[in-house]
Amino acid sequence: MRRFMDPFEELRRMQERIGRLFEEFEPRYAAYTIPVDVIDEDDRIRVVAELPGFDKKDIEVYVEDSDLVIRAERKEEEEEVRKNYIRKERRYGETYRRIAIPMEVEVDKITAKYNNGILEVILPKSEKERKVIKID
Between 17-26, 45-54, 115-124, the lowest mean confidence (pLDDT) is in 17-26
Query: Is residue 134 assigned to a domain?
Result: no
* Choice between 94 and 121, residue whose per-residue pLDDT is larger: 121
22 and 41 together in one domain: no
Quote the pTM value: 0.68
% of residues, the chain, pLDDT over 70? 76
Which pLDDT does position 58 carry in this prediction?
A: 94
22 and 86 together in one domain: no
69 and 15 together in one domain: no
Mean pLDDT score, 33-49: 94
Which pLDDT does position 2 carry in this prediction?
A: 47
SS3 content of the chain, % helix, strand, coil (to 5): 25, 35, 40
Rg (CA), the chain: 20
| Number of neighbours of residue 114 by Cβ within 10 angstroms | 18
- List all residues 6 or more positions away from 42 whose beta carbon is below 8 Å from its beta carbon: none
Q: State the total domains in the chain.
A: 2
* Choice between 117 and 127, residue whose per-residue pLDDT is larger: 117
Confidence of residue 128 (pLDDT cuts 50, 70, 90): confident
Residue 50 sits in which domain range? 34-124
- Please check the confidence at residue 94 and state whether its pLDDT lies above 60: yes
Of 119, 123, 75, the residue nearest 97 (C-alpha)? 119
Mean pLDDT score, 114-136: 87
- What H or E segment, with its residue span, contains residue 24? helix 7-25
Which pLDDT does position 1 carry in this prediction?
A: 42
* Choice between 102 and 86, residue whose per-residue pLDDT is larger: 102
What whole-number distance in Å separates Cα of residue 123 and Cα of residue 63? 10
22 and 83 together in one domain: no
24 and 90 together in one domain: no
Query: Is residue 72 assigned to a domain?
Result: yes
13 and 63 together in one domain: no
Q: Are 92 and 112 in contact (CB under 8 A)?
A: no
Which pLDDT does position 15 carry in this prediction?
A: 75
